[in-house]
Amino acid sequence: MHLERLRNIGISAHIDSGKTTLSERVLFYAGRIHRMGEIRGDGATMDHMELERERGITITSAATSVPWGQARLNLIDTPGHVDFTIEVERSLRVLDGAVLLLCAVGGVQAQSITIDRQMRRYGIPRLVFINKMDRTGADPVRVVDQLQKRLGCEALPLQIPIGSEAGFEGMIDLVAHEAVYFEGAQGERVRRAPVPPALADAAAHARQHMLEALSMFSDELMELLLSEEPVPEALVHRVIREATLAQLITPVLMGTAYRNKGVQPLLDAVVRYLPSPLDCSTVAHSFEEPSRGLRLEARFDRPAVAMAFKIVEDAHGTLTFMRLYQGTLRKGASYYNQRTGRKERIGRLVRMHADQREEVAEAAAGDIVAVMGIDAASGDTYADRRGFAQLQNMFVPEPVIQMAISPLDREGAARLAKALGRFRNEDPTLRVTHDEETGETLIAGMGELHLEVYVQRIRREYRVEVEVGAPKVSYREAPTRPAAFEVRHRKQTGGSGQYAHIVGRFEVLPEDAEDTFLFEDHVTGGRIPKQYIPAVEKGIRSQLRKGPVAGYPVVGLAVHLDDGSHHEVDSSDLAFTTCAQTAMREQFARTSPVLLEPVMKIEIECPTAFQGTVVGDLTSRRGMVMGAEVIGPETRIEGEVPLAETFGYSTSLRSMTQGQGTFTLEFARYNRLPPSLEREIMEARRKALV
């Protein structure tokens, strides 16, 4: 396989836009499967987990490899629900290109905006596929307009539809200026024909608009248009590819995966316009030359550099999914984990097809494979030698909700600990902590569905009956005003004692600060020796996890160390760490700290007849409506609502809308709690701690 023919792509979209249905068609038309499964039926190939088949949603990303013409596609199907956003995040981190799926009726929805942000974070060129063109209310023109207005991308349609809604027959390829139809029982035969006379003017106008937009990126194309000469099809393809790779345009295609129309032209576009590993530039942190960095090349003869981006444990052992950026990985060879410095041997090397495995002897630069026999964490870099290079890690969002979990009997305690250890290793957004005050095991995640899925997996896969406490919101403590502190720690026992003295200030960090904590040393004249300064910072940081006011994590705090003193004999790291801890416990309250609560962006879709009821209920939950848009018989309501008010909202929304309402949540920011609620929560927290 020549690298220029390899495509590493992902399919990402808002929930229920048809990602898995599209993936199933890709597998079928590429000859990887011989019968298409359905999500609401016998189950799709890529949704191989039992819970995925039951719920009809994608929970974990699944990888496969398929041929298409002379090319090979490494494809990752990702979840659409915001609770499983880490699956999208880590997949996009290692992919070269992506397909953003949009519903022809829903258009750009809440999770579409999140996915767009993730793609931009990693600089990934993408195509847009407008799916469900056969549905009532399908409007590709409106979707393209939303792409430009809501996502700020230069959307360029390469097709226009033939027919609309239930009468959707195919599309006109504006580049080739041909009509494209799909025949056969499962749309497997693609027939190209002249443009229908009824659409000749519309097609000519749309093609001219496309060429004029592309002429902004090509002088050769501009000259041909100005001289009114024919534009070669090969030139159009080349300009589209160059502009897409530079992320100057976003090509838009359309179809209906469920009705088997439009999938093959999409795959052709993936091969034509999305990058191969040779088109991508990756720079790793170089331990040998930190200021310059190390530019990785997709060549087989270079030192191996690979990233572990996903960990999965099953009955056969631990699978570590890897993207190889440079060099070669070989079965039985050993490589160094750049984070730990350990040398680890690859026991088996496999290529994945959903949950099926195909053994391979080696993998080369640009490939995505899974390995067995190594002990990795998500984001680890592996290389031929110790201290060679470190790839940029993926972004991991903070959890916003937590609940207590405990086994019903002693026998289940060990299995529960094993399950939580496995899931925490697989999913960086799942946090497991032990509350020493209450003795409870707490799990924190991205939402109710996220934690609910793990609880069900514990019961099914590990046969542990667990009791789950009510979801708890991850509040934060934040200072509201500056305060000075001076603390002296003195302890005398037999022999040398402990002495530390620190003077400083607590300050409030601005809301737009990148970090939630800042420590600055302003001590001069050796009043506190430099070797003790890190101990002071360590002592402060150790108190941030459990704030002194209500036991919640502290954010938005800047600590300035201005002065202090030490003792030649009795001062030590331990003394200064203890002194700093005392300063936080006893003096932080002088900053008049308040509680912050997580506020979520909410997007609700419901029949227009229920709009008033839904808005009224949202307002009663301390929510704020930011806007509403009527799309045919449906209304999309956008707003913000505190996370604490959303528990059980899915049941309430269904009852208000006769089962027709849906919603999505995404973390927006932390806001201060209303004073009355703050007092109530602080009092309850104090009683619980006592």
CATH number at residue 166: 3.40.50.300
Task: Tally the domains of the chain.
Answer: 5
584 pLDDT band (50/70/90 cuts)? very high
253-257, 308-312, 549-553: the lowest-pLDDT one: 549-553
Residue 534 shares a structural domain with residue 674:
no
51 pLDDT band (50/70/90 cuts)? low
- Asked which of 473, 498, 517 is the last residue of a domain, the reply is 473
Position 436 scores a pLDDT of: 66
Position 38 scores a pLDDT of: 61
Q: Which strands sit side by side in the sheet containing 517-521, from one edge to the other?
A: 483-491, 498-508, 557-565, 517-521
Position 657 scores a pLDDT of: 84
Summarize the confidence of residues 465-491 as an average pLDDT. Answer: 88
Average pLDDT value for the chain = 87
- Asked which of 566, 592, 618 is the last residue of a domain, the reply is 592
- Asked which of 473, 492, 507 is the last residue of a domain, the reply is 473
Residue 263 shares a structural domain with residue 296:
no
Position 245 scores a pLDDT of: 94
Residue 274 shares a structural domain with residue 293:
no
580: tokens are 């700093």
What is the Cα–Cα distance from 54 to 194, expressed in whole angstroms? 45
Assigned domain for 155 exists: yes
308: tokens are 């572990």
Write out pLDDT tens, residues 604-635: 888 888 999 999 999 999 999 999 988 777 88
557 pLDDT band (50/70/90 cuts)? very high
Can you give the CATH number for the domain in which 416 is found? 3.30.70.870
Summarize the confidence of residues 191-206 as an average pLDDT. Answer: 94
Please state, for a pLDDT cut of 70, what percent of the chain lies above it.
Answer: 94
Position 264 scores a pLDDT of: 95
Summarize the confidence of residues 144-160 as an average pLDDT. Answer: 92
Q: Which stretch, 105-119, 257-271, 293-307, has highest mean pLDDT? A: 257-271
Write out pLDDT tens, residues 394-413: 888 777 778 889 888 888 88
CA distances to 17, 114, 608, 621 from 636, rounded to whole Å, are 15, 17, 9, 18
Q: Is the pLDDT of residue 170 over 60?
A: yes
Assigned domain for 396 exists: no
Q: Is the pLDDT of residue 42 over 70?
A: no
Q: Are 181 and 169 in contact (CB under 8 A)?
A: yes
Position 53 scores a pLDDT of: 64
What is the H or E stretch that residue 358 is in? strand 356-359
Write out pLDDT tens, residues 486-532: 999 988 766 678 899 999 999 999 887 778 899 999 988 888 999 99
Position 203 scores a pLDDT of: 94
637: tokens are 């309501």
Write out pLDDT tens, residues 76-97: 888 777 778 788 888 888 899 9
Residues β-bridged to residue 433 = 442
Summarize the confidence of residues 107-115 as an average pLDDT. Answer: 83
Q: Given its phi and psi angles, is residue 478 left (phi above 0), alpha (psi -120 to 50 degrees) or beta? A: beta
Summarize the confidence of residues 101-125 as an average pLDDT. Answer: 87
536 pLDDT band (50/70/90 cuts)? very high
Residue 142 shares a structural domain with residue 39:
yes
- Domain of 25? 3-279
Q: Is the pLDDT of residue 57 over 80?
A: no
Q: Are 365 and 298 in contact (CB under 8 A)?
A: yes
Assigned domain for 302 exists: yes
Determine the length of the chain.
690
Residue 115 shares a structural domain with residue 15:
yes
Can you give the CATH number for the domain in which 561 is found? 3.30.230.10
Position 301 scores a pLDDT of: 86
Assigned domain for 178 exists: yes
Assigned domain for 292 exists: yes
Render 381-426 in DSSP notation, one character per residue.
EEESSTTSEEPPPPP-PPP-EEEEEEESSTHHHHHHHHHHHHHHHH
Please state, for a pLDDT cut of 90, what percent of the chain lies above it.
Answer: 41
Q: Who has greater pLDDT, 307 or 32? A: 307
Position 614 scores a pLDDT of: 93
Assigned domain for 395 exists: no
550: tokens are 């209500």
